[in-house]
Amino acid sequence: MEMEDAIKVLLVDDHEMVRIGLAAVLGTEDGIEVVGEAGSGEEGIRLAQEYKPDVVLMDLVMEGMDGIETTRQLMKLFPECKVIVLTSYLDDEKMYPVIEAGAFSYLLKTSRASEVADAIRAAARGQSVLESQVASKMMNRFRNNSKAETPAYKELTDREMEVLRLLAQGKSNQDIADQLIIGIKTVKFHVTNILAKLDVEDRTQAAIYAYKNGLAE
């Protein structure tokens, strides 16, 4: 790859030694050219406007404008630019907001130089790279969110749904037993399970839940 076709990279990190080290390492990589170094988010925005980089290696914690806000502004100005977060932080308060702001990849500063270079090349091809720990945390969050978003009534069996609908109509346990042709003890068992699964305290709250969720006639 000729230099004019090289992937243009902008470094944004408030630690000078980090920038020097990155520039030295990436300078030995074929097809990658470091076009600028910024010691702050504000300077990063200015240099991005000047150099139009393909990829920005972004630190998260910086004085003044942090990496999250810098990423957000870069995405507004240059939506085609790929921001690769390179940080020491793995906490949720920083990781998720910067990804939501538009970060394309997320690496830790413990990554090997070759891994950073590979992530830059992948970003230029439109492929995201996530540190394994980051990917694991995101998958766990996705699974937890999916579970939290599942309505509680989805946990009810078909028979429990029948009991809930009758309960919402004001039917007594005996009425429900007679209509469904089951024993009174079985009805009580189903009602207990319904209250537990819906996380409500009594039949009235269960009935209200049923109407709010369109489960009752």
Type of residue at 86: L
Tens digit of pLDDT for each residue in 137-165? Answer: 666 665 665 555 668 888 899 999 999 99
> Tell me: domain 3-146, CATH 3.40.50.2300, correct?
yes
pTM of the model: 0.64
CATH classification (class only), 152-212 = mainly alpha
Place of tokens 């939501």: 100
Question: Would you kindly state where each structural domain of the chain is located, as residue ranges?
Answer: 3-146, 152-212
Query: Minimal CA–CA distance to 151: which of 217, 216, 212?
Result: 212
Q: What is the pLDDT of residue 184?
A: 93
Q: Which residues of 77-102 are buried (b: 16+ CB within 10 A; e: fewer)?
A: ebeebbbbbbbebeeeebbebbbebb
Q: What is the pLDDT of residue 146?
A: 53
Q: What is the pLDDT of residue 3?
A: 56
pLDDT per position in the chain (217 positions), as tens? 345 689 999 999 999 999 999 999 999 999 999 999 999 999 999 999 999 999 999 999 999 999 999 999 999 999 999 999 999 988 878 888 998 899 999 999 999 999 999 999 999 999 988 877 776 766 666 566 555 566 888 889 999 999 999 988 888 999 999 999 999 999 999 999 999 999 998 888 898 889 888 887 6
